[in-house]
Amino acid sequence: LRDWIGARPVADVVEAFNREKVPCCQVMTSADMATDPHYRAREVHAEWDDPQVGPVRGTGATPQFSETPGRVWRGSVPVGNDNELIYRDLLGVDDGELAVLRERRVI
């Protein structure tokens, strides 16, 4: 089967399998997905502003639900961007403890 598939264009293989009602699909690259009509119709890809690199287009929230649609809420952030939130709000570290940890170069 591998040799048979490997000797043919992808479109021919998919057509032959579909004709015989054998489920199959092309394994797509990111570039293939970005231009695929089905992916476009499903709005699989989204655009957002990334604070480090500017406008970005990539895979959006998956799966998509009609009642509770997902979204990309932010792009990439610098390493350590959320440290204060984690130290203070999640771990309960106060200003004094943070100062000592910084002074000792722990953080």
Structure tokens at 13: 């293989």
Q: What is d(CA 24, CA 13) in angstroms, rounded to the nearest whole number?
A: 9
The predicted pLDDT at position 88 comes to 95
> Taking the domains of the chain in order of start, what are their residue ranges?
2-76, 77-107
Nearest Cα residue to 49 out of 58, 62, 40: 58
Average pLDDT over residues 56-72: 87
* pLDDT tens-digit map of 6-39: 999 999 999 999 999 999 989 999 889 989 999 9
* pLDDT tens-digit map of 83-96: 999 999 999 999 99
Structure tokens at 101: 């940890």
The predicted pLDDT at position 17 comes to 97
Which amino acid, 10? V
Length in residues, the chain: 107
The predicted pLDDT at position 103 comes to 96
pTM: 0.53
